[in-house]
Structure 1
C-alpha cells in the first residue's frame, strides 16, 4: 500500500491522449524575464512500466544542473507520506459497496482478490480514486512499475538537492472531495465492466506520453465526457496556482528542475503557455 501511495498524486487522472508533434518533448528550458540562469520543466507520468521508463541524457543534465527540485508534492518529507497514509479512507466514511449492486460488488471483489490480494471488504472504506489507481496499475499488464517522481526524489536525496512541493496532501485530497463520491465509484466500475476499453485507453495514454504529445495529453479531458467537466478543477485552476508559486521561485537565485504531470503542460491554461504569458522564454529541449 505504501508503494502505491508514493505513486499517487492528483494527476493520477491528468493523463491524456493525442498525436505526436514535430517539436515533441517532455523537457523544456525556461529562461528570460530577469532570471539569472535557466530552469527546466519536465512532464512526468505517475505510473509507467519499467520497460518504458527512460530518463534521457538531456533530462539528466538538466536535473544535475539544478539547485532545487520542484514536484507536485514534497515527497522526501516524511510528514507528507504520513499525511497521505492517514487520508486514504473516505472522509465521510462512505463505503464503495454501498454504491454497487450485487453483480458489481462481485465483479470488484473478484478483481481485487485475483489481482491485488485483498477483497472488497478489506478496501471498502478507501477513497475510490485510490482503488481506481490500483485497478489501472493492474491493467497495465506489467509486473514492474515505477514512477518518475520516485526516481527524481531518489536522485535529489543522493545529490543532496533541496526538494520543494507545489501543493499539500490536504489540497490534493480536497480536489477529489469536490467530485461526487458516486461518480468516482462509477468510473471505477466502468473500468472493470469494460476492461478491454480501459486497457485500450491506457495504451493510448502511454503512446501519447512516449510520443511527448503535451497538447494531446491535455485534451483528454475534453474528449472524455466523464472528465471534461472537471478539467478546470483537476488541471487549469491548479496550473494558475502553480504559476504564481513558480514565478517567485524562478526569480530567486539558483535554478529549478520542475517535474509535474505531463497533462499539466499543454493547452491555453497549461504550464508552458502560462510561463510564456508571464514573460518567460520556454523552449523544447531535444531528447534522445
Structure 2
C-alpha cells in the first residue's frame, strides 16, 4: 500500500470510532456551568464540499472562546510558519531523488507553481507534500475550516487560543526521517490516480460525517502506524490537560481540531470522558 502521508497529514484523520455519524460533540457535566463543543475539522477541502451546518454555527455563535491547534488569529503564527519552510539542516530534496524522480517533481512544480525544483529544493518535504495534495484535490478554490472559524471569531470579537505553537508542530516532522518524508512525496506523484482516488474517497466520507467509514479506510494504512503516537496520541494527552483547565474556567469553548484527534482509545472524546465529562454527538442531519 502506498503511503498517502500528505493526505493523512492535511486531513488529520485516523482512529475514528464514533458510533454516530457526526463531527460535532457537546461537552457537558463535570460541574461545568455551561456546555462547550468539540468539532472535527479537515484542514483543506474544496469550496463546493465546504459546509457549516446550522447546529455547528449555533454552537460556535454561543461559545465565548475558539480553541484550535494553532491560534490562527495571531499574525505571528503565519509569520513564524513562513520562516520555517526550509529544511533546518539545509538538506536538498534533489540529493534524495533519482533522475526520473527529479524530472517528475520538477515537472509538477513547474506546471502548478510556475517554478521548477531548483526554487523549492531546500524546502521541507512535508510542505511540498501539502502542495501535491492541494493540486490533486482537483478544484480551483479550497476552503479551510480553521480559516473560517478564525474569521468568524474575529468578526464576533471572540477570544482565540491555540493548543500548540508553530515550533512544536514543525518539530513533530523533524522527528520523522527526512528520507521517508521524501519517499512519501514521490509516491504521491508516481501513482497520481491512486492518490486522487484515495483523497476523493476520504473527502466523501468526511462530508458524510462517516467517522466509522473513515476509520475503516485508514486503519490499515501502514504509513501512519509507526507515527500514531507522535502525530496523534501524545498530542491528544497534552491537550487533555489543557482543555480540562479551559473547560473548568468561566465561559464556554468551541474546540476545533483535526477529526483524527477525536476518536480511538487515545482520542479526545474518550480522554475527555476519562476526566468525567459527558461527550455526546450532535446530529447535523436535516430533520424531515
How high is the TM-score relative to the length of structure 2?
0.92
Q: Is residue 16–residue 216 contact of structure 1 (8 Å, CA) maintained in 2?
A: no
- What is the SS of the residue equivalent to 1:138? helix
The 5 Å alignment of 1:76-225 reads 76-217=73-214, 222-225=219-222
Q: Is residue 221–residue 228 contact of structure 1 (8 Å, CA) maintained in 2?
A: no
Aligned to 1:24: 21
- What is the SS of the residue equivalent to 2:283? coil
Aligned to 2:12: 14
Aligned to 2:253: 256
Aligned to 1:4: none
The 5 Å alignment of 1:56-71 reads 56-71=53-68
Q: How far has the Cα of 1:123 moved from its partner?
A: 0.7
Q: Is residue 16–residue 208 contact of structure 1 (8 Å, CA) maintained in 2?
A: no
Q: How far has the Cα of 1:203 moved from its partner?
A: 1.2
In structure 2, what is the Cα distance between the partners aligned to 1:269 and 1:133?
Answer: 26
In structure 1, what is the Cα distance between the partners aligned to 2:16 and 2:22?
Answer: 14
In structure 2, the CA distance between the partners of 1:35 and 1:163, relative to structure 1 (3 Å rule), is same
Instruction: Kindly report the root-mean-square deviation, in angstroms, between the aligned alpha carbons of the 2 structures.
Output: 1.9
- What is the SS of the residue equivalent to 2:161? strand
Deviations, residues 225-261 of structure 1 (Å, cap 9, x unaligned): 1221001110111111111100000000000000000
Residue 69 of structure 2 is aligned with which of 64, 69, 72? 72
Aligned to 2:237: 240
* 1:229 aligns to 2:226 (yes or no): yes
Moved more, 220-229 or 248-257: 220-229
Deviations, residues 75-95 of structure 1 (Å, cap 9, x unaligned): 111111111111111011111
- What is the SS of the residue equivalent to 1:282? strand
Deviations, residues 54-77 of structure 1 (Å, cap 9, x unaligned): 001000000000000000000111
Aligned to 2:267: 270
Deviations, residues 23-65 of structure 1 (Å, cap 9, x unaligned): 2000000000111100000000000000000001000000000
Q: How far has the Cα of 1:191 moved from its partner?
A: 0.3
In structure 1, what is the Cα distance between the partners aligned to 2:70 and 2:16?
Answer: 27
In structure 2, what is the Cα distance between the partners aligned to 1:186 and 1:220?
Answer: 22
Please, which runs of 5 or more residues in structure 1 have no aligned partner? 1-7
Q: Is residue 11–residue 259 contact of structure 2 (8 Å, CA) maintained in 1?
A: no
Q: How far has the Cα of 1:13 moved from its partner?
A: 5.8
Q: Is residue 240–residue 274 contact of structure 1 (8 Å, CA) maintained in 2?
A: yes
How high is the TM-score relative to the length of structure 1?
0.92
In structure 2, the CA distance between the partners of 1:180 and 1:228, relative to structure 1 (3 Å rule), is same
Moved more, 223-232 or 68-77: 223-232
